[in-house]
Amino acid sequence: MKSDAVKVGMQQAPHRSLFNALGLTQEEMSKPLVGIVSSYNEIVPGHMNLDKIVEAVKLGVAMAGGTPIVFPAIAVCDGIAMGHIGMKYSLVTRDLICDSTECMALAHQFDALVMVPNCDKNVPGLLMAAARLNVPTVFVSGGPMLAGHVNGKKRSLSSMFEAVGSYAAGKMTEEDVMEFEAKVCPTCGSCSGMYTANSMNCLTEAIGMGLQGNGTIPAVYSERIKLAKHAGMKVMELLEKNIRPRDIMTEAAFMNALTVDMALGCSTNTMLHLPAIAHEAGVELNVDIANEISARTPNLCHLAPAGPTYMEDLNEAGGVYAVMNELSKKGLLNTDLITATGKTVGENIKNCVNKNPEVIRPIENPYSQTGGIAVLKGNIAPDSGVVKRSAVVPEMMKHEGPARVFDCEEDAIAAIKGGKIVAGDVVVIRYEGPKGGPGMREMLNPTSAIAGMGLGASVALITDGRFSGASRGASIGHVSPEAAVGGPIALIEEGDIIEIDIDANTLNVRVSDEELAARRAKWQPRQPKVTTGYLARYANLVTSANKGAILQTK
């Protein structure tokens, strides 16, 4: 056992004395040491129940003959961090989570790990750590929140942000907003639409690192406790069989995950996280392949904010495995791959039927013949830009209009709420990328303000920042290269005509190459917004969004 390095032999007597200080018995020390990485805290609604999940995992590990030992991982609530300096600290925690888990796991020589994440950056951060460490690992998330109910309709956090925009437009009263405030987030759990947290928890199933229901069983259901116990038991089976994360997270598994991503209509943030996870697994995942996969993958789900259904509905309809079963009917998945269940993808999904064709469209009757995400290129985005196609209204799939240029999110929000943005405009928010932000903030406030003011079907937004999975509309993020390194988005001027064609995967500004070259000759790099602390170090090391915003080691 790996843990013998800290348990067995005379040289390890000092180590054993410290295990004695922990109250471990000889019987516990003789068993495999299983690290349980807990993202529990009291500030993130998706994490406030993780203490119960962790206790269930511990019981499962112990029942299967292991010794469970808990250590923590940090987590930021993207919703609470939204719209201020706190959002600079969201994406950057992905690498802190990965690095700190590596430190703890190797310093203490755990034989296996159970990861207990839930919200946005925890899931990819811990998947990165699992790939890097490559010891037997299972994931069990805290589960999604139940949808709220306002005026007889299901609602979620995106409804809340849009309500603020509606209030600014005079379409809602303060009392209306307060009712939303009290009701849209009614339970613990990751927010109830197909936002980033739920996208990544679902893709954890699709890539094979989580058990059935990991992405969809609501946080408040007792079934989630049972799932956690089974995760604890399952990791002991993986340890016995020596099935490791890199056995599971192969190139073919990432293709499966991208395919499921397209069918579910996941958050555009998956286009940052999947390449970063793949990088740790030794797999090169170029986001350009997303369009190739999208072209052959029907979009089967329209969960909030793209449509009126929520994670609880997807769970009742059969969950991720039912979606995968639909996809397998047209041979769109590699079903021979091993997973954390100890079985193949095909064995996992064999009898998982679609129980609600209104929530999961049958493969013969999809929402669209193409997937939920598109990667755009053009003279604004030579490397890439990303849009959640499934959340764009038909009339905005092709759009052209004058650029309204802002060098930070705050200036854009002031203009939107001040009534200075009108139908037809294309809002450009730049210097918000991985380096320029730094930290690549999410733009949920501006997209929600646009939607809340009734401009969602007439105004587009492009940025070198990113979007929450709660954003909808013609919202194109991850524009690469970013403005901070002189990407063409830095050269756009007020009034330039922007041309967007999502079906053709293009994003251009109607300016000649000669004029862009002249503007480039005059462009000067901006002084860094942050010069001290972790953000400054991050800005120095981070790569562009099209490479997953990974940190360079050289």
Give the catalytic positions in this structure: 468
489, 443 in Cβ contact below 8 A?
no
- Say how many residues make up the chain: 554
Residue 76 to residues 40, 70, 84, 469, Cα–Cα distance (Å): 11, 20, 13, 16
453, 470 in Cβ contact below 8 A?
no
For 506, phi and psi rounded to 5 degrees?
Answer: -125, 150
Angle between helices 270-280 and 122-133 (to 10 degrees): 20
* Nearest partner of 260 among 313, 336, 208, 190, judged by Cα: 208
The b-or-e profile of 323-351 (16+ CB within 10 A means b, else e) is bbbbbbeeebbbbebbbbbeebbbebbee
* Nearest partner of 120 among 442, 417, 362, 380, judged by Cα: 442
396, 460 in Cβ contact below 8 A?
yes
The b-or-e profile of 128-141 (16+ CB within 10 A means b, else e) is bbbbbbebbbbbbb
Beta bridge partners of 375: 386
Euclidean distance between CA atoms 246 and 368, whole angstroms? 33
* Nearest partner of 378 among 506, 547, 533, judged by Cα: 506
DSSP annotation of 140 reads -
For 226, phi and psi rounded to 5 degrees?
Answer: -60, -40
489, 479 in Cβ contact below 8 A?
yes
User: Which residue carries 């609600």 as its tokens?
Assistant: 356
**Beta-strand pair 384-387/475-480:** antiparallel
